[in-house]
């Protein structure tokens, strides 16, 4: 996946590669292996890149939670 992103952008892009990998990993972790994932990487102008990762799982809708003081903490510790 990282090589595909690098070839598509035709430039060094470690940050973009890491972002794509993390987003796809979140789908696998929270929705499950075997879920159809669509990744779209596009240049929006000369210096910006837009990354979209979507999945087809209807059961994995976001659930709002109240903010806490440690809201950026790892949710597995709760």
In order of 12, 25, 43, the CA distances from 19 in angstroms are 14, 10, 15
**H/E element holding 53?**
strand 49-55
**Residue 36 belongs to a domain:** yes
**Residue 66 belongs to a domain:** no
pLDDT in tens, 49-77: 899 998 887 765 667 778 877 766 555 54
**Residue 53 belongs to a domain:** yes
DSSP 10-51: TS--HHHHHHHHHHHHHHHHHT-TT--EEEEEEESSSS-EEE
When divided into structural domains, the chain yields a total of: 1
pLDDT in tens, 4-43: 888 877 777 888 889 999 999 988 888 888 888 899 998 8
Q: The domain containing residue 39 runs over which residues? A: 2-57
Closest alpha carbon to 20 in 34, 6, 32: 6
């Amino acid at each position: 996946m990282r090589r595909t992103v690098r070839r598509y952008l035709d430039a060094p892009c470690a940050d973009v590669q890491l972002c794509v990998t993390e987003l796809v990993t979140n789908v696998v972790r929270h929705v499950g292996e075997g879920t159809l994932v669509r990744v779209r990487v596009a240049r929006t102008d000369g210096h910006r890149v837009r990354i979209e990762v979507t999945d087809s799982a209807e059961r994995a809708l976001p659930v709002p939670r109240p903010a806490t003081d440690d809201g950026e903490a790892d949710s597995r510790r709760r």
